[in-house]
Amino acid sequence: MRPPILRRLFRRVASTAVLGLLAATSSTTAAGAQPAAAAAGLQQVTGFGSNPGNLQMYEYAPAGLPANAPLVVALHGCTQTADAYYANSGWPKLADQWGFDVVFPQTTSANNSLSCFGWFDPAEDTRGKGEAASIVQMVEHAKQSHGSDARRVYVTGLSAGGGMTADLLAAYPDVFAGGSVASGLPAQCATSQAAASGCQTGPQKLSPAQWGDKVRGAYPGYGGPWPRVAIWQGTSDYTVYPANATALRDQWTDVWGIGQTPSSTDTLPGNTTRSVYNDASGKPAVETYSVAGMGHGLPVSPGTGAEQCGATAAYFLNAICSSYYTGVFWGLDGGSPGGGGDQLPAPSGVTVTGTTAGTVSLSWSAVQGAASYAVQRNGTKIASPATTTFTDTGLTAGTAYRYTVAAVDGSGKAGPASAQVTATTTGGTPARCFTATNYAHVSAGRAHTSGGYVYANGSNANMGLYNVFVTHTLKESPAGYFVIADSGCAS
């Protein structure tokens, strides 16, 4: 049964066909109706702010919640309600066990005919606007009401809620310390209703840097630490295709300034494969969870075990308790987020001060308490200078390099990485460009295949299906390193 999440997206009016499909698939509240009654413990909160996005706020706060507890925001999918997410996602059990507050925002058909969050609408999903602004107002209200720890605010969501989660992480990295996107979309994948459906079945074939630019462009000038991001995806999801998980992985590893090759991979319950992408200090910054054979929904695992949670229902699928593993990744269980702890802040003011054909010079602002700094080039640590300047040598002429810097304390523990800067060495031979089908690119050794998809050699950019119908232009610079250059191939 294929749910109608955004297959047709209309702000006010839905077609007869979509309404019929909605009635056939939704097992929660009918579109536009309010839940008959909030589940025990789930309370509606009013007066939380000016509410420009016309949302409703529901909250679950365990009895005896201590001050400075974490705060989790949980966003439902299309056709769902806050009550359904409360009842089935498993977050209340973990809130009781670990001690944190959970906010469940809710949208209705007054905003969208299928009660979807507007992850595709710049008037709703950008900083200071619409639904995104309403959700941040809910965060501020909860922080003031319960004394929540502003450094430990997290957001998670399913499907359209997952798309909005990614947008919130991009627009408000100063608010959210981490996020979890389940069967969702990369940040700013679509900026119109017309483009939304295309994102679901196949997001744009962008390089990691291009995906990362969408995040960096959501809050220009931001120089603080980035959220740690978990990505959950079923391999048999034909509503939001698995290519979106790949795009999300590319997007957030690029934002962190780390590569797209996992630091480690392991197997979890429910036929789940976890891939971990560590930051400069060796702590998980991005994790992907691929659930073999699972369709469109949030993975849950009903039961009383420590690693079990949730209940099965429409789009809550029996596989693994994703909320538990997400909570551990964030450190809600009492561990440290990403396996870290008290850390020095990310250096600010990272600047390229000069380039030659073979060198790049950098500088940054000093971090109090730093014994040294970890400099990463293209996701790999290359130096540990004790000062706030560094010159990278032995580089290839005419080549772009990406750098981040992290502060390291006296015990050798590195903090979060700085905002990424890009420097291009001077000189070099002109880039070569090739336009051909995906099949021809693979045959010529410019790309390779994996799982039926084609990836450019070097950049590993997703080029789409392995066939003779999809055509791309690839730019080679330096030799053997190819990037997609469909919009132009200037050297």
Residue 126 CA to residue 167 CA, distance in Å, equals 7
Question: How many CB atoms within 10 Å of residue 451?
Answer: 10
Cβ density class 37-52: b for 16+ within 10 Å, e for less: ebeeebeebeebbebb
The alpha carbon dihedral of 326, 328, 330, 334 has a sign of positive
Cβ–Cβ under 8 Å, residues 22 and 31: yes
CA distances from residue 57 to 62, 115, 219, 246, 265 in whole angstroms, order as listed: 16, 14, 25, 32, 38
For 271, other C-beta atoms within 10 Å of its C-beta total 15
Distance CA 447, CA 449 (A): 7
Strands 316-318 and 43-45: unpaired
DSSP state of 190: -
| Active centre residues (catalytic) | 159
Give Dmax over CA atoms of the chain in angstroms. 68
The kind and range of the H/E element at 434 are strand 432-437
CB 375 within 8 A of CB 346: no
CA distances from 82 to 60, 76, 77, 191 (A): 11, 6, 9, 25
Could you give the dihedral angle defined by the CA atoms of residues 118, 316, 462 and 286, in that order, rounded to the nearest 10 degrees? 90
Radius of gyration of the chain (CA): 23
**DSSP H/E element including 208:** helix 208-216
Q: How far apart are CA 81 and CA 107, in angstroms?
A: 8
Q: Alpha carbon 243 to chain centroid distance?
A: 14
